[in-house]
Structure 1
Amino acid sequence: MTKRDWVMKSTVAVMLSTSLLMGGHIGQAQAATTTYAQQTKEVSSIAKSLLGKPYKYKATGPSQFGSAELATYTYKQVGVKIGSTISSLYKTGTKVTSLSKVEAGDLVFFSSNGSGSPTFMGIYIGNDQYVYSSQGEGEVVLKKLSDYSKKFLGARRVLEESSDNSSNSPVAPASDLASKVIKIGEKYMGTPYKYGSSKDTTKTFDCSSFTQRVFKEAGITLPRDSRQQSTVGTTVSKKNLQKGDLLFMKASVNSSSDRITHVAIYAGNGKILHTYGSPGVTYSKFDGTNWEKRVVKIKRVI
């Protein structure tokens, strides 16, 4: 075993042990016992421990990594579920536009000419350094952020200081978190539907801005639109459906395309909580309905 592998295994082992002591929920989006400072330190430490790992397109780790997959893997180790593509990650979390405001743990994005869509990305670890899986160099490398200022497009902050919790209370079970998600969603019952509604308003919602808002208030970061949201979390089957799962649907029962056009939250007892058309935010019957027949994917982010 190499020194890097030993460091990585030791880091993960410590986090797993802590998780078991505090309730065992490492998959929860933001552990209540972990402060913002601790999370950023862990993310930076894990990212740095992966230096030298071979680059491979779309490889998800732990022995090889693609560009976005390095970030996905690293955040997963601290219990934060994010997207798995550069495009989805470029829209997740909070936007950081200035190079001077980038903080440890932020995702940083670049393109060869400094404009357009990002073509590679990494994790900023502080001290003007970031870690990324480089196709050109064939491995995970450490670079100076300032050396890439002309290629820098922006950053996204997935970890938020609002997640700080200095108490030593146990992490809530997933079932409790799912109930919290539903309760948060219920407070918006009747809020009007508006296609393309801004993520910054609660006066109107479209289906994915509603799920993004509800999960954000529960401490879970989701991308903005339904297709991006379908890339995060764990895929589950309909027979294993649980309260809090996200249901992704195609346009109609008879549609030949499985292109996702709608997202809803499974509320348990054969119901979904979502928003559409004239009712706005509402409950709908799910079992045996067209809503159920339209489902093409189910993801668990809790």
Structure 2
Amino acid sequence: MLNVKAFKKVAVTATAVSALGLATLFPTHTTSALASTSSDAKKGTSVTSGQSTVTLADKIIATGEKYLGTPYKYGAPSGQTKVFDCSTFTQYVFGQYGIKLPRTSASQYASVGTPVSKSNLQVGDLLFFSSSKSGKGRVGHVGIYAGNNKILHTYGQGGVRYDSLSTKWLAASYIGAKRVLKSNPTTNETKPSTDTNKPSNGGNTGSTNNESSQGSQLADKIIATGNKYLGTPYQFGAKSGQTRTFDCSSFQQYIFGQNGIKLLRSSRQQATQGTSVSKDQLRKGDLIFFKTKSSNGQIAHVAMYAGDGKILHTYGPGGVRYDKLSNWMSTYLFAKRMIK
């Protein structure tokens, strides 16, 4: 668990916030992070026996999801993927499908798409918000509606991520939505047996070659449970067993517990459980332990390895989210395997 004072030092600036296993949570999509409510499904997404209808909106979300955890940088240049700001992110992922968006969030709001009410949102709609830089009532942030009341965007610490539209600052700063996709063209594709965020072999991304099928399936279930709480606020010392807020260790304790694995309460206690594993042998579901600047080299944070070089955890602004493990390697201590 991290000292809440550390978070006051985090500067969250923006012009305007994974996901493995989301196909389990959102079965109307074939990729791992496409979220849709039943009402969304009626508007262009459906599932058939043995096949899934894939919309252009689905593909856009799937492309954006590849960059979960990519750092945020105000004024990031267009056309590259090392860093994004809110509008270069939307510009890039839409551009991969031949849809040209202007460079800034304000320009995107002013010049593209058709206005749509908040009650009629569809996956792929652009959502616009005011920001501290733009001032109240003026567009300063943009994201993509991902269904299930979620937005896929980038903002400050944590970079590209999912947030709930019910998050206080998003709800308070909402300006409007634009539908850029004129229709929801679909293509029938055989539903893949694995998602695009499965870890690749080699490096620190973890190898699945020696994973047991049973262990891998359980890890996917734990990750899918965690995905339900993307954007849930962080609270230092959050009470165990509830889901309104989490700290790092209560989050892991809860999602593992929902799948039959009992973890102790604190990150240091959890570090006494399981079997040690090296960085180059990481598997989905492994717990990774970190120090902080103020912890004097001691354990102060825990996250779950989610494959593809990403961790699923909660930490300060943004709450539950995915981050790139590489962004945390300077504070990496060790990893433990909880799934046999």
In the superposition, the TM-score normalised over structure 1's length comes to 0.41
Bigger relative contact order, structure 1 or 2, given CA contacts below 8 A and separation 6+? Answer: 2
In the superposition, the TM-score normalised over structure 2's length comes to 0.36
